[in-house]
């Protein structure tokens, strides 16, 4: 099938574009729903495969939160997340741990910390206000 390489490149670039544009940290199913509008012949298996490859290439990140399926993040630089336990919204936060804290954890462990991730859980502003 000579058309396969071009088609798979197109599928991969659409999957990447969806994840990069979404600020919602979509699941594979959510990416699939959007991708199908642009490429009706795309399958969920293809979306999964491309998400996995893009994550391996470091173009997107896989993120997992308590009580949620695997999600995908188009923001590849280090950052942290807030996850609302009520509506499931995931918000991006800048890295907040001071370098001195990381250095002190590192020396306590006697190890080298190469990366870390910090997830905050709670109730988002919208849910908080609608409950009040």
For binding to Zn ion (CB under 5 A), which residues are involved?
Answer: 73, 75, 84, 86-87, 89, 92, 124, 127
Nearer to Zn ion, 30 or 73 (CB): 73
CB of 112 to Zn ion, least distance (A): 24
* Strand, helix or coil for residue 62: strand
CB of 83 to Zn ion, least distance (A): 9
Nearer to Zn ion, 86 or 101 (CB): 86
Distance CA(85)–CA(89), nearest Å, equals: 8
Nearer to Zn ion, 36 or 79 (CB): 79
What is the torsion angle, in degrees rounded to the nearest 10, for the CA atoms of residue 79, residue 52, residue 72 and residue 46? 160
CB of 45 to Zn ion, least distance (A): 25
- Distance set, CA 62 to CA 53, 71, 103 (Å): 11, 6, 26
């Amino acid at each position: 099938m000579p058309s396969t390489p071009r088609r798979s490149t197109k599928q991969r670039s659409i999957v990447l574009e969806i994840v990069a544009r979404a600020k919602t940290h979509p699941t594979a199913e959510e990416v699939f729903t959007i991708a199908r509008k642009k490429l009706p012949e795309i399958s969920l298996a293809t979306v999964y495969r491309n998400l996995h490859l893009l994550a391996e290439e470091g173009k997107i990140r896989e993120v997992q939160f308590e009580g949620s399926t695997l999600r995908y993040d188009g923001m590849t630089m280090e950052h942290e997340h807030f996850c609302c336990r009520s509506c499931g919204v995931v918000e991006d936060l800048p890295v907040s741990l001071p370098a001195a804290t990381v250095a002190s954890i590192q020396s306590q462990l006697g190890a080298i910390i190469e990366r870390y991730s910090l997830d905050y859980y709670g109730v988002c502003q919208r849910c908080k206000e609608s409950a009040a």
